[in-house]
Structure 1
Amino acid sequence: MKIMNKWDLLKRSDVACYRQERDVLVNGDRRWITQLHYAFQDDNYLYLLMDYYIGGDLLSLLSKFPDGLPPHIAIFYIAEMIMAVNSVHSLGYIHRDIKPDNMLLNISGHILLGDFGSCLKLREDGTVSCSVAVGTPDYLSPEILLAVEDHTLSYGVECDWWSLGACTFEMFFGHPPFYADSVVETYGKIIHYKEHFTFPPSATEVPQEALNFISSLICERDTRLGRGGLQEFQNHPLFAGLDWEGLRDSSPPYIPESDGATDTSNFDVVEDHLTEMISGGGETLSDVEDTSPLGVNLPFVGYSYTYRDDDRANVWGIRKNECECKKRPTQDTQNMSHGDCLGQNLDSTLLTDLRNALQNEIETRETLNTEINFLKTANQSLARRLYEADQLNAELQSKISMMEGQMRERPSIVEEERDVHFSPRRHEICNQKYEPISRTRQLDSCIPSYCHPLVTPVHRHMLLFSRIPKPHTSWVGYLLLCSINWSHCVPRPLCSL
């Protein structure tokens, strides 16, 4: 089972090819690619359920031969790898991650190509454009690396054939052709392969046809073997005498050892991180549901798939349907004609097809209902937020209108205050009848009106005697203090006081 985090796939949408992987597994040639039984999903993960191949992978086989595989074993598996890669190309896809780890061995020792998570669908011109280096460093082609630097560059199926050449080199010599201590150094060797590609001294023990085959793949893309199709490989001297048509039905030169269907001894089993991943090892869609964009699940609609039970391929080869009357012969079936038996078999097959089609429709409807419910919930949440925003906007608009009204009234208020606090009061003339209220009041009432034009704005407040506090001073002292500003006035009130 392969489990993929939906949120992680969406964040890596430029390199995540989950849809292409599912399509290749569904439509690919089951003789050469891993068998898919189910594709399904839940709120946070995608699942692919495939056959388990107890033979391990080609990398495990290479570990048993540190100095390289014997030539007859290597040639057989190179031929099956060619058939597997060509089956992907025939669908209109490129794999982009051809390596020994992805070549699985079934119980009989035949190869099946797996891990299509880097697949891309070819355009009408037979190329793709991608600015990300996808794949395993030791097996990447130079055109993939150059496309990272120059986004205008494109490449096609020839990148897979380069990877096949790197795998072939490793099968004969025990190590990849551009191995280095760091990824950057490996990339540098691949880009400048003309300066770094050489055969080791042990090449004298390798057939010359194999060396020529490797050189025809580790070369310029325009002259690389395989650009003209499968026929170019079938005509190569390395495969002279090989029965390509009967390759799958032949006996492999290596049969994996196993103790049963659940044996894992042919794999390098690593620590299981499944529980950690499911229980919180990574952020999921449920964790970001409130902040995720609307319709975030739409890319996964229609992902589910169920493989038909009839005509299925398993790890032991192709199992073909037999007529039910031949499997369980009875007196009635013995009297049947071959045509009646065939008609019964066709009716049974048609019924099975209809049931499977109905099941697929039900699953699709359930998936669409889930997406519709999700969209309804998201729309309700968005409508609620919009309503709250409208209410807040109305409140702010009301406050703004009130403040604008206050601002319009403010100038008149200021003018009134200015008239009250700064304009000198015009009292009666000094020779009016004296009202003995208080000496301060008398002084305030005796300010002559003809002194107003001579009063400056700075001294205007000095004339408002009754409005200036006079703590701890007598009215006479206060009068003397203020009289310095009366230099332009005739002090008749002072004389009268």
Structure 2
Amino acid sequence: MIGHLTNKEALIDALFTLYNSSKHQKSEYIQRFIELYEPVCQELNQTKLSIKDFEVINKDVIARGAFGKVTLVKYKEQFYAMKILSKSYLISQTDRSSPIEEKLVLSGTHEWLPKLYASFQDEKYLYLVMEYAPGGDLQGLMERRQGRFTEQEAKFYIAELILAVESVHQLGYMHRDIKPGNILIDLYGHIKLGDLGSCIAIHTKHPLLMVGTMSYVSPEMCNSEGSDPAQGPAYGPESDWWSVGIVLYELLFGVPPFTGKDIQIQMKLLDPNPNISFGTCSPEAKDLLSKLLHKSNQHRLGHHGASEIKSHSFFKDIQWDTLHTSYNPPFIPAISSLDDLTFFSATPENDEDDEEDEEENLEDKDFPFIGYTFTENLQPTERKYQESEELQSTIASLKEQLEKEKELNKKNMDALKQLEREKRNWQLDLQTHNVKLKKEEEKRLEELLEKEREQWQSNIYALKEENKQLILRHEEQLEKERQSWESRLQTQQTNISKEEKRHKEQLEKEEKNWLINIDSLNEEKEQLIAKHKEELKEYIEQVEKCKAQITLLEEQQLKIMEQQQEKYNKLESENKRLEFEMKKTVERYKRQLEVLKTEQSQKTTLQSDVGKQSKIMSVMWQKDRDNLRTVQQALETSESRLALTKREIARLKKEIKSYQKSSFEQQMKDDKLERRMTENQDAINLVYNLIDNSKGGALNNRRRKRVDVSVNLSSSLSSLGSKELNKLRAHSVDDSNQLIKNTQNKIRVEKEFIASTQRTMAARSKLSRTKTEFDQELQKSIDRSNSKISLLQQKLQQYELNNNKK
């Protein structure tokens, strides 16, 4: 990592980033820096690699992802696959995976990963120039076949996929997005594991989120939301082996084991016992699938490395070291040229998708991508194509020569048969000249056969020479690969020796603890034996007391003695069984120590010492204890999270039901209260009118005559007194206050419902990036609640206005 950040190209990236970010600042020193390095940056900008140096062969996009696209380009008469990533999308993503990590993984030389020839950047995009695989991807091959693969075909692709995933893990990364669409097929039919944009370090300290395609995501990745990085990563490389199992299942049965919408698949994966049905397949394939798709990542095949998977009986006929050279792929793409896109489902490029709606003016947007630029001599891919063409042309010419020789042999055999028939006719017709003609004819035929035999031998010799040349080429290639593998094995061996030295002191410390544990077990054994002996003595004393006390009932005495004897036998047999099991356990540990001792002596050349057995036993003791502890913690965590999810769903259901019930009851109460207030308001208005009429009765006799009934009513109401009138007025004001309070409660309930729904939508957005119909229904319910709040607020204002008037 340090080497990649201190090379020339990384330092140039840093210079450009510093220069561009300084443009937004107005300091005097920064302006001097800009004036000083402006010509340098302009000169470097003219010489560095850019998108203008490449020719886009086809405007159609051969692959598209969440953060970019892949297209076919041409550079100096050579063809490459260019991956284009948007910087703004990469910065806005919540996951901690970095394009720098994808560049670091691809920049090396790996047999099962696409070769990276160059990487560069501009203001908006990142560019990766990679090896072009003209065979398409495994998803396209499955769609073209429209059927299941045979076990032999599936075994070939899964074996190469295992080696590809192992190479990524050996570099210290997890892929996290393994699926058929990311498994590319090269010119010779072998696979290349692509789309490493989701790669992240195995021992990262950042929070891990759920990424990838839901049908291929592991259960622990679905359950990673809210995990604490301080307690260790939420998931590990076992998630990639789960995805490998899903791909194998899809190759054998045509569809993934979990289908449906994302939320449905997620609920199936969170089930403690997910239901996986297996179709018709061999017992070895079914066993491999069941172990790769184990719910617990601690018990999943591959937890201790890819060697566990490679040693499975399903791959018993696979030669892992020569898989790339000694096996014929089931499918070899037949292409007319290197720019042939026959095996890709190309989609038209949409320029509107590449334009950003809003340009964010981020001054420090280039800092995360310092060190991304990588330029290697762009090696020609034409050489491989020419070698393939030469090989195919040689095979075709040899086939033509063989066909010609077959035709020539057939003609010669026909000629021999014709001559023999003529010879028999001559024998019948010309008996006198039979001997002479026979000798001449046999001589001529022998000479002809001799010439043809010599010609055949020369042709066979030429074919053998060509075959030897091909074998020599193949052996040279194998020798190079063998040397590379030997260097890798040597480095691994040195790492193993260092790790053993580092653990040596730790094992010596744990040796004493193991001996203490053995002593404690022996003490417990002696205590159990003493306890059993004491119980046996107690039973014998009881029997003797029964004999002394019971003298008349002999039959009962015999039965009691038999019962006591049976108990005695059981205790004695139990004691013997415990001793036998203890001896058996000690012998088993001794055998395991001997086996481990022999294995340790084969792996290392270190001298054996007296404390090795105790060290190995301590390692086994600690490993078993750690495995039990991790399994118990995983079970407790999964059960707590499942219970939390169930409680959240139940709480939401109760809130919706209570909200519906309370809203209906509150509506009924408000309607009743509003009618009551209307009636009270009418009565109060009538009272006020009658009082006014009674006060002005002495001044207007004509009006009093017209409203005799009103005057009588007013006189009766005035006789009620001021106390009754104040009571009526107070009752109306109380009803108005109650209505205002109910309206405020309604508004509060609606706001609580909106907040709860928004929390649910936020939790669902963390689980899945795509919105479903359920999310749309939740948004509609929020909109309805907002409109209802606005209506209730208008009513509240009206009620408060009426109350102020009163």
CA distance 1:112–1:128, change in 2 (3 Å): farther
Kindly tell me: are residues 213 and 111 of structure 1, through their superposed partners in 2, closer, same or farther at Cα, counting changes over 3 Å? same
Structure-2 change in CA distance of 1:128 and 1:162 (3 Å) = farther
Alignment correspondent of 2:257: 177
Which residue pairs with 2:366 in the alignment?
297
Kept in 2: contact 1:169–1:176 (CA 8 A): yes
Instruction: Give SS of 1:80's match.
Output: helix
Per-residue CA deviations over 1:115-172 (Å, capped at 9, x if unaligned) read: 011100121xxx7654421101000001111111544561111000000000110000
Q: 1:189 is matched with which residue?
A: 268
Q: Tell me, yes or no, if structure 1 residue 135 matches structure 2 residue 212.
A: yes
Change (3 A) 1:282 1:69: farther
Show the counterpart of 1:78.
158
Which structure 2 residues correspond to residues 391-470 of structure 1 after superposition, within 5 A? none
Q: Is the 8 A contact 1:129 1:154 kept in 2?
A: no
1:314-463, aligned counterparts within 5 Å? none
Deviations 1:61-81, CA, capped at 9 Å, x for gaps? 111333311111110000000
Matches within 5 A, 1:105-124: 105-123=185-203
Deviation at 1:39, TM superposition (A): 0.4
Contact 2:96 2:206 in 1 (8 A): no
Task: Choose which of 286, 291, 298 in structure 2 pairs with 1:216.
Answer: 291
Q: TM-score, normalised by structure 2?
A: 0.36
The Cα shift of 1:233 comes to 1.9
- Matched residue, 1:459: none
Match among 271, 294, 315 for residue 239 of structure 1: 315
Query: Separation in 1 of the partners of 2:349 and 2:379?
Result: 34
Q: Name the CA distance, whole Å, in 1 between partners of 2:382 and 2:237.
A: 27
1:477 maps to what in 2? none
Q: Deviations 1:276-296 (Å, cap 9, x if unpaired)?
A: 344x2454xxx333xx2x433
Partner of 2:124: 44
Aligned counterparts of 1:102 and 1:317: Cα–Cα separation in 2: 27
Aligned length, in residue pairs: 302
Cα offset, 1:272, TM superposition = 1.4
* Cα RMSD (Å): 2.5
Deviations 1:223-279 (A, max 9, x none): 111122222122111111211111111321221232321121211112213x3344x
Seen in structure 2, the aligned counterparts of structure 1 residues 210 and 313 have a Cα distance that, compared at 3 Å, is farther
The aligned counterpart of 2:754 is none
Distance 2:343 2:368 in 1: 37
Quote the offset at 1:13 in angstroms: 5.0
Residue 51 of structure 1 contacts residue 314 of structure 1 at CA under 8 Å; is this kept in 2? no
Is it true that 1:103 corresponds to 2:193 in the alignment? no
- When you count helix as a share of all residues, which structure comes out higher? 2
Deviation digits for residues 160-188 of structure 1 (CA, Å, limit 9, x no counterpart): 000000011000000001111x1100111
Q: Aligned residue for 1:19?
A: 100
Q: Partner residue of 1:7?
A: 88
**Equivalent residue for 2:600?**
none
Distance 2:141 2:98 in 1: 28
Deviation at 1:309, TM superposition (A): 5.3
Q: Give yes or no for contact 2:97–2:199 (8 Å, CA) kept in 1.
A: no
Following TM superposition, by how much is the alpha carbon of 1:307 offset from its aligned partner in structure 2, in angstroms?
Answer: 2.4
What's 2:145 paired with? 65
* CA distance in 1: counterparts of 2:386 and 2:170, whole angstroms: 21
Amino acid at match of 1:296: K
Distance 1:282 1:26, change over 3 A: farther
Structure 2 match to 1:269 = 346
Q: CA deviation at 1:316?
A: 6.3
Report SS of the residue matched to 2:181: helix
Question: Is the alpha carbon distance of 1:46 and 1:224 closer, same or farther for their aligned partners in structure 2, counting shifts above 3 Å?
Answer: same
> What corresponds to 1:410 in structure 2?
none
Seq. identity, %? 36
Select the residue among 131, 144, 149 that pairs with 2:221: 144
Q: 2 CA distance for matches of 1:121 and 1:61? A: 31
5+ residue gaps in structure 1? 320-497
CA contact (8 A) 2:119 2:374 kept: yes
State the distance in 2 between where 1:231 and 1:288 align: 48
* Counterpart Cα distance in 2 of 1:178 and 1:41: 39
* Cα deviation digits, residues 177-210 of structure 1 (max 9, x gap): 1111x110011112226232222xxx23x22111
Amino acid at match of 2:116: L
Moved more, 143-152 or 32-41: 143-152
Partner of 2:304: 228
CA distance in 1, matches of 2:386, 2:200: 28
Tell me which amino acid in the other structure corresponds to 1:155. Answer: Y
User: How far apart, in 1, do the equivalents of 2:206 and 2:148 lie?
Assistant: 35
Change (3 A) 1:35 1:317: farther
Deviation at 1:301, TM superposition (A): 1.4
Structure 1: distance between partners of 2:308 and 2:297: 15
CA shift in 2, pair 1:7/1:310, >3 Å: closer
Contact kept, 8 Å, 2:112 with 2:191, in 1: the verdict is yes
**Contact persistence 1:3–1:46 (CA under 8 A):** yes
Of 314, 317, 330 in structure 2, the residue corresponding to residue 253 of structure 1 is 330
Deviations 1:330-368 (A, max 9, x none): xxxxxxxxxxxxxxxxxxxxxxxxxxxxxxxxxxxxxxx
State the alpha-carbon separation in 2 of the partners of residues 276 and 162 from structure 1. Answer: 37
Q: Confirm whether residue 156 of structure 1 aligns to residue 236 of structure 2.
A: yes
Mean Cα deviation higher: 258-267 or 41-50: 258-267
- The equivalent of 1:463 in structure 2 is none
Partner SS for 2:128: strand
* Farther-moved stretch of structure 1 (187-196 vs 153-162): 187-196
Partner in structure 1 of residue 421 of structure 2: none
> What SS does the corresponding residue of 1:178 show, helix, strand or coil?
coil
SS of residue in 1 equivalent to 2:242: helix
Displacement over 6 Å in runs of 4+: 310-319
Provide the rounded CA distance (Å) in 1 between the counterparts of 2:123 and 2:190. Answer: 37
Is 2:375 the partner of 1:306?
A: yes
Distance 1:311 1:83, change over 3 A: farther
Q: Which amino acid aligns with 1:32?
A: W
TM-score, structure 1 as length reference? 0.57
The 3 A distance-change label for structure 1 pair 93 and 55 is same
Given that 1:31 and 1:313 are in contact with CA atoms closer than 8 Å, whether structure 2 keeps it comes out as: no
